[in-house]
Structure 1
C-alpha cells in the first residue's frame, strides 16, 4: 500500500471516513421526514376545516331550499284549491257555458295529442 496516513477527510485512523457523512445524511433525512409529516398534518387540518365549512354551507342552502320548496308547494296547493272553487262556482252559475267550454278544451287537446 502507500505510506500515506489514513487521514482521509479528517477521519481518525481506523474509522470509516463516511460514517460522519452517513450520520449527517440520516439526521437530515429524519428532519425532512418530520417536516413532511408536519406539513401533511397541516394540510389535513386545513382540508378538514374546509370540508366542515362546505358541509355547513351546504346544510344552510339545503334548509333554505327546503323552506322555499315548502312555501312554493303551499302556494301551488292554495292556487289549485282556489281554481277548483272558481271552476265549481262557474259551473253552478253557468252550466251550459261551462259544458261548452269543457267540450271545446277537450276537442282542442284531443286534436293536439292526436298528431
Structure 2
C-alpha cells in the first residue's frame, strides 16, 4: 500500500481508505457523542436534584413554621392555665387564713422554720 498524505487525522497522516483509521475516527466520534450525552444527563440530573432540594427546603420551612405556631399556642395555654391555678390556690389560702388564723400562722411559721434551717446549711 502506498501512503496518501492528503487525509489527516488527529493521530497523524492516514490513507483515505485505511479501515483502522476509519474505525478509530468512528470510535472518537462515538466517544465524543457519549461524552456530550453524559454531560447533558448530568446537567438534567443536577437540575432535578436542585428542584427536589428546593421542594424539601420549602416543606421543612412550612413544618417549622407550623411547629413554632403550635408551640406558641401550647405555651400560651399552659401559662393561662397556670395563672388560673395560682389564682385558685391564692383564694383558697386566703379563705383558709380567714377561717383558721391561728392554724395558718403556725403553718407559715413551721414552713419558714424548715426553709430557714435548710438554707442555713
Two-structure CA RMSD over aligned residues (Å): 2.4
More strand by share: 2
TM-score, normalization by structure 1 = 0.78
Note if 1:48 corresponds to 2:54. Answer: yes
Q: Name 2:9's counterpart in structure 1.
A: 16
Larger CA deviation: 99-108 vs 85-94 = 85-94
Q: Which runs of 5+ in 1 are unaligned?
A: 7-11
Q: Name 2:3's counterpart in structure 1.
A: 5
Residues 62-81 of structure 1 mapped to structure 2, 5 A cutoff: 62-81=68-87
Q: Deviations over 1:21-71 (max 9, x none)?
A: 555444433322221111011111111111111221222222222211111
State the Cα distance separating 1:89 from its structure 2 match: 1.5
Mapped to 2, the partners of 1:39 and 1:85 lie a distance apart of 69
Mapped to 2, the partners of 1:39 and 1:71 lie a distance apart of 48
SS in 2 for 1:15: strand
Mapped to 2, the partners of 1:112 and 1:60 lie a distance apart of 45
Q: Which runs of 5+ in 2 are unaligned?
A: 12-23
Q: Name 1:9's counterpart in structure 2.
A: none
Mapped to 2, the partners of 1:106 and 1:17 lie a distance apart of 100
The count of residues paired between Structure 1 and Structure 2 equals 108
Q: Which structure is higher in RCO with an 8 Å CA cutoff and minimum separation 6?
A: 2
Structure 1 residue runs of 4 or more that deviate by more than 2 Å after TM superposition:
3-6, 17-31
SS in 2 for 1:5: coil
